[in-house]
Structure 1
Amino acid sequence: MDPLSDIFSSMRVKTAKFTAVDATAPWGIASSGDPSIKFILVVRGSGMLRTQEHPDAVALRAGDVFIMFGPEPYEVYDHESSPMVDCFGVDSTRIQNRIEFGGGGATTTFVSGYFEVDSLDAQPLLSVLPKLILLKSEHNRTRSFQSVLELLAAEADAPGLGSDAVVRRLFELLFVHAVRAFADQLSTPKKGWLAAVSDKGLAAAVEAIHGDLKTAWTVEMLARKSGMSRSAFAARFKEVVGQAPLAYLTEWRIFQSARLIESGDEKVAAISRSVGYLSEAAFTKAFRKVMGIAPSEYRKRLSMDLGSRDAMIAKSSLAA
């Protein structure tokens, strides 16, 4: 199993919202940023995108899509001289799932949406992705990715019965395909597990780890999966991923165990065995090292305020 499949197999989209926007020139939208995952798909027309981290504006045209992770402010507009309207002000003109605003000139139509995922589920993804993924229409896209974009545009244009559920699932697919497309961009630097699965020499070892966390993997065993010597594999893994192979294995074991603790009442001893620890004491030590807290205490704190829980996760090495 590859890491992306591992992550998305139980990712929980908590909220999802989409809007079809018809913006007539001159128009401009400014967002101060919020922690949700946001995307804009340009359906027709054109525009410009500028973010705080990337102040040089990027041209957008029909078929382009960008996804933003985290609270970075951004602006989307038709011309740099166009007046900017705060996104909340624009949203106040919404009629059901459609917004029409601007100066009455040439029209640019785009689908704007956001969704929120559980913080623990999202952490391994957000730790390896940039704040902005821009996927231009001229980049080669799989037929399935293009189908998802077309379905989102169609649903926004004419929402039907069960539309919220449909959009939530389409957002999940959009997320998967966007990460796939980003991983396939050879010119874009990668880090962490995303760099490993993009590296032909390491992909087999990484997939072996994710396919069976119970196995008592050694560096030698993983090196054989990659067809390398032990020393060459260890050096390559550290260079590409940024951590040693067994440290990577430990973090994913603890990540999966935290998911299991959240999802039910299974005993800690059983969870520790399911992720490859024969000793509960060894598991507790590893869990504390990664998460900063013992597994039993982690379970107790699950009922605490969500913000405090998210802060605890953010301090763990999963967020490194």
Structure 2
Amino acid sequence: MSQKDVLSELLKPLRLTDTYYSKWLVGGDWGVAGQEDSHAVLHYMVRGECFITHEGAEPVRLDEGDLALFPHGTAHAFSSAPGLITTRLHQMLPTRTAGSYHAVAVGDACPDTEILCASLHFDSATEPALYRALPPVIVLRAHMLGDEPLLLRTLESLPVEISRTAPGSRMVSLRAFEMVLVLSLRTAMERLAAESPALRALRHPGISRALTAMYASYATPWTVETLSREAGMSRSAFAQTFRELVGEPPARHLMTRRLQEARRLLKDASVPLHKIHELIGYQSHVGYHLAFRKEFGITPGELRASRTGQEST
């Protein structure tokens, strides 16, 4: 399968449920520090420049047309220059309700910089295991976006779209941000693979084929041996390379994918509880039950009951 196929399968379960977005007009000396977020966060430089910093990393300058994506919502600050005293985000925006929009003015001079910021909300249960291995921040420069017309045009349209009150505007904005997330990851996969083992995994001919198999055909009784054949690699080379790039052994990654699918099926009361282990590739109900409880601290029946109001079995 192609590299785009693996990304499609990887992100298929990941759908945005809501967004919070804001437009920042800033000038002079300024700085804002955000807390750890449970959602992805992005900053798009509509005009001007700023610096972003997060713990353990050097400041990164963003110029007009650049995009910074924090896949895991890593705590970070953005400011007019490195080292400036920053105001806490929650002091400036004490209420940030999903689906809402704010325009914010910051700084001690006439605004010369405009930034589109968004918090992208998705169900953590749908987060692909490999997504968790992405770096804290992905920076796409303006020249990279220039080679991605769909991503660039979507970003350029968002500042106007998010301020509209026309029918369906909220859904349009939600899906537009979802497209930005997917296209940003595709661009990073193609242009920044050297910067991240997880991105290299998506580009690696053999590992990407194995990942596609795991995500698209998770119910198949895969073993490390059969996955290595799918990858066209020796068993030892496959197991070592997979662990180096993905950050965990193939069997563990496959288990996570299967249990993620189990959580999705448990939301659907029409799917019999006693059938789910077969649907996700477990030969034994007991093995599935034990793995699920160890992973999530709750039994499948208890989760079904909490989601559907049924009694657990």
Tell me if both proteins adopt one fold, taking TM over 0.5 as the criterion: yes
Q: Does 1:98 align with 2:99?
A: no
2:67 pairs with one of 65, 68, 78? 65
Residues 242-280 of structure 1 deviation map (CA, whole Å, 9 limit, x = unaligned): 433333222211211111112434222222221123432
How far apart are residue 123 of structure 1 and its match?
A: 5.9
How far apart are residue 116 of structure 1 and its match?
A: 1.8
- Identify the residue that residue 251 of structure 2 maps to in structure 1: 246
Secondary structure of 2:109's aligned partner: coil
Q: Does 1:35 align with 2:38?
A: yes
Residues 195, 43 of structure 1: alpha-carbon distance in 2 compared, 3 angstrom cutoff: same
Matching residue's letter, 1:57: P
Consecutive unaligned residues in structure 1, runs of 5 or more:
305-320
Residues 30, 216 of structure 1: alpha-carbon distance in 2 compared, 3 angstrom cutoff: closer
Matching residue's letter, 2:256: E
Residues 280-299 of structure 1 deviation map (CA, whole Å, 9 limit, x = unaligned): 23332333343344322332
Q: Does 1:144 align with 2:147?
A: no
Asked if 1 retains the 8 angstrom alpha-carbon contact of 2:10 and 2:128, the reply is no
Residues 102, 240 of structure 1: alpha-carbon distance in 2 compared, 3 angstrom cutoff: closer
Consecutive unaligned residues in structure 2, runs of 5 or more:
none
How many pairs does the alignment contain?
300
How far apart are residue 122 of structure 1 and its match?
A: 2.7
- Identify the residue that residue 118 of structure 1 maps to in structure 2: 123
Secondary structure of 1:256's aligned partner: helix
Over aligned residues, Cα RMSD in angstroms? 3.1
Map 1:257-272 onto structure 2 (within 5 A): 257-272=262-277
Residues 32-82 of structure 1 deviation map (CA, whole Å, 9 limit, x = unaligned): 44433221100111122222332x322111111112245644322223586
Residues 187, 264 of structure 1: alpha-carbon distance in 2 compared, 3 angstrom cutoff: same
Map 1:87-236 onto structure 2 (within 5 A): 87-91=89-93, 97-105=102-110, 107-122=112-127, 124=129, 126-139=131-144, 141-156=147-162, 160-184=166-190, 185-191=192-198, 194-236=199-241
Asked if 2 retains the 8 angstrom alpha-carbon contact of 1:20 and 1:97, the reply is yes
Asked if 2 retains the 8 angstrom alpha-carbon contact of 1:90 and 1:101, the reply is no
Residues 212, 197 of structure 1: alpha-carbon distance in 2 compared, 3 angstrom cutoff: same
Residues 193-214 of structure 1 deviation map (CA, whole Å, 9 limit, x = unaligned): x553221122112212222122
Q: Which moved more, 1:16-25 or 1:59-68?
A: 16-25
Q: Does 1:298 align with 2:303?
A: yes
Matching residue's letter, 1:76: F
Distance 2:210 2:11 in 1: 20
Residues 13, 125 of structure 1: alpha-carbon distance in 2 compared, 3 angstrom cutoff: farther
Distance 2:165 2:276 in 1: 42
